[in-house]
Structure 1
Amino acid sequence: MGGVRHTTGRGRGINIEDLFGGTGGFETSPPPPSEYPVSITLEEAFSGADRRLRMQDGRRLEVKIPPGVDNGSKVHINADRAQGNAFYLVVSVKEHAKFRRQGKDLYVEVEAPLDDAVLGGELTVPTLTGRLALTIPKGTQNGRRFRLAGQGMPALNNSANNPRSDVDHRGDLFATLKVKLPSELTDEETDLFRMLRDKRMNPPELENAGENGAKDGVEDEGTGKE
């Protein structure tokens, strides 16, 4: 009891634990870091977040979650490694109502009135830092995707002991156009759509262009062969 002792010929006792630092000749290694889940919003993943944790010994610890973390990212917290208090925060990012994330890129759907899709116009696109103006050309089809460079998530450079974020290299934001058809039309608008349909279904026939195929100052250059 009380340690392993060895007796010499003179009767003096030597405590083996004293010779090897009281550990029986083996150095004890700190336990491996534990992992604890933490849930954050997409906005917090974009800009970074602070969390206040309560340790088992009653201490409170302020920790920082760097920008750019994603689902499954591990943030190393070195509270007190010697006492086995080092641990990882395993990040879970909540789903967003508007944005869908894929790596550093974000995806969002933007509604456009029918007249803007046909004639061209300017739309407002939401981002995680505000709103941006997007000019769409005339004849823009439903489902067309526009790329807004540098409006995605920041890149994450997360080392084991020093989490850092490189916010200078961001992903892109892809805005998908959803053309919104009018749900109610006035009688005048209905007549205009009928006129447009009739014109598109029955285009005017071209008159004879003459011997050289020229009309109204427009010449047919042919195939370019002599």
Structure 2
Amino acid sequence: MRDPYDVLGVARSATAADIKKAYRKLAKTWHPDQKPDDPTAKERFAEIGSAYELLSDADKRGQFDRGEIDGEGKPRFQGFAGGGQGGPWGSAQGAGGPWGQRGQRFEFDMGAGGPFGGRGRAPGGEDIMDEILGAFGGRRPRRGAGLGGEPPRGEDVRVEVLAPFRDWARGAKQRVRLPNGKELDVAIPAGIEDGKTIRLKGQGMPSGFNGEPGDALVVVHVKPDPAFRAEGKDVRVEVPITLYEAVLGGKVRVPTLDGAVEMTVPPGSDGARTLRLRGKGVAAKGSPGDLLVELRIALPKGGDPRLAALAETLRDDAPYDPRA
């Protein structure tokens, strides 16, 4: 990486406040979401973050200023003490060589992370990263995600869909437009619980750091139907029948989730009777539910003189009281 002072555009005498201010400005300018058409934006943004992580850490900044580490936080080769004694590895008994004086080994403790995490994190660095990424709906890279670590994944996107009752009950695909502009055919599982989320791996926002893309979270809601209502795996529907169909029985047309079918009404059926069509309910895993058909006796609108005369005859000849 380039000199971190040059990356942030600050002098070597810059204060911590100067470094923080420069980082805020550059990070917001070069965030990949600000420059979606610039292929260099993500690399520039990562470079800015790395520079800030180093210079905002007083210990690392001091090591860099003394030439002990480079712009990526890696130890610099300082050469071997003892001049030319004993060649490039120094003398076995002298002060040269990679083991230094009297065999003492030089060690460097550079921390356990990349520019976005580990022991080398600068005080307040997490808050700054959250603030910068939060301005674009992003999240702070995970610890160890950066130079030498796993790159952070992209953001998840969330969308809510309203599935028609029949599609929900029998299972169907629905066209969904995601917040990132993608359009997908999403399979709605039959009988999925209202408010449940379907996760589509890799269909979210790109990483911006060459990491894995985020996921798409599709929240499913069920659109009520004027004819059908769910009762667990079963579906209930009301069907009007005539008085003579209720008394004499017959075949009537019944709407189902898959289209209308004929159903036999037994003689003597009243308005409190419920018939069952097996397997015509929610096509859930295992065994599907049933369609519960509620019979509703419908009298002619405006009345019928013949029906009224018949009712009077029945009342006078053979009184019937269902409450008796």
TM-score by length of 2: 0.50
SS state at 1:91 partner:
strand
Report the Cα distance in structure 2 between the residues aligned to 1:61 and 1:153, rounded to whole angstroms.
Answer: 27
- 1:23 and 2:150 are equivalent in the alignment: no
Checking the alignment, whether the CA contact within 8 Å between 1:148 and 1:174 is kept in structure 2 is: yes
- 1:185 and 2:304 are equivalent in the alignment: yes
Aligned to 2:276: 147
Report the Cα distance in structure 2 between the residues aligned to 1:54 and 1:32, rounded to whole angstroms.
Answer: 13
The aligned amino acid for 2:144 is: E
Report the Cα distance in structure 1 between the residues aligned to 2:250 and 2:256, rounded to whole angstroms.
Answer: 19
TM-score by length of 1: 0.69
Aligned to 1:40: 163
SS state at 1:154 partner:
coil
Checking the alignment, whether the CA contact within 8 Å between 1:77 and 1:87 is kept in structure 2 is: yes
Greater helix content? 2
After superposition, give the CA deviation of every residue in 1:2-57 in whole Å (9 maximum; x if it has no partner): 2433639x95325564574443433246477453211121122133122242453x
Pick 1 or 2: higher relative contact order, CA cutoff 8 A, min separation 6.
1
Aligned to 2:251: 122
- 1:91 and 2:220 are equivalent in the alignment: yes
Return closer, same or farther for 1:11/1:76 CA change in 2, 3 Å cut-off.
Answer: closer
Checking the alignment, whether the CA contact within 8 Å between 1:154 and 1:171 is kept in structure 2 is: yes
Report the Cα distance in structure 2 between the residues aligned to 1:94 and 1:142, rounded to whole angstroms.
Answer: 28
Structure number, greater radius of gyration = 2
Return closer, same or farther for 1:17/1:151 CA change in 2, 3 Å cut-off.
Answer: farther
The CA deviation at 1:62 is 1.4
Report the Cα distance in structure 1 between the residues aligned to 2:304 and 2:203, rounded to whole angstroms.
Answer: 69
Return closer, same or farther for 1:201/1:64 CA change in 2, 3 Å cut-off.
Answer: same
Report the Cα distance in structure 1 between the residues aligned to 2:174 and 2:308, rounded to whole angstroms.
Answer: 56
Aligned match for 1:131, one of 260, 282, 294: 260
Aligned to 1:76: 199
Checking the alignment, whether the CA contact within 8 Å between 1:125 and 1:134 is kept in structure 2 is: yes
Aligned to 1:196: 314
Checking the alignment, whether the CA contact within 8 Å between 2:163 and 2:222 is kept in structure 1 is: yes
SS state at 1:138 partner:
coil
Aligned match for 2:175, one of 43, 46, 51: 51
The CA deviation at 1:106 is 0.8
| Structure 2 residues without counterparts, runs of 5 or longer | 5-50, 55-59, 75-109, 119-142, 146-151, 205-210
Checking the alignment, whether the CA contact within 8 Å between 1:67 and 1:154 is kept in structure 2 is: no
- 1:66 and 2:215 are equivalent in the alignment: no
Aligned-residue CA RMSD (Å) = 2.9
The CA deviation at 1:119 is 1.4
Aligned to 1:102: 231
| Structure 1 residues without counterparts, runs of 5 or longer | 156-165, 203-226
- 1:13 and 2:69 are equivalent in the alignment: yes
Checking the alignment, whether the CA contact within 8 Å between 1:109 and 1:177 is kept in structure 2 is: yes
Q: How many residues align?
A: 187
Checking the alignment, whether the CA contact within 8 Å between 1:55 and 1:61 is kept in structure 2 is: no
The CA deviation at 1:112 is 0.8
The CA deviation at 1:84 is 4.9
Report the Cα distance in structure 2 between the residues aligned to 1:170 and 1:75, rounded to whole angstroms.
Answer: 21
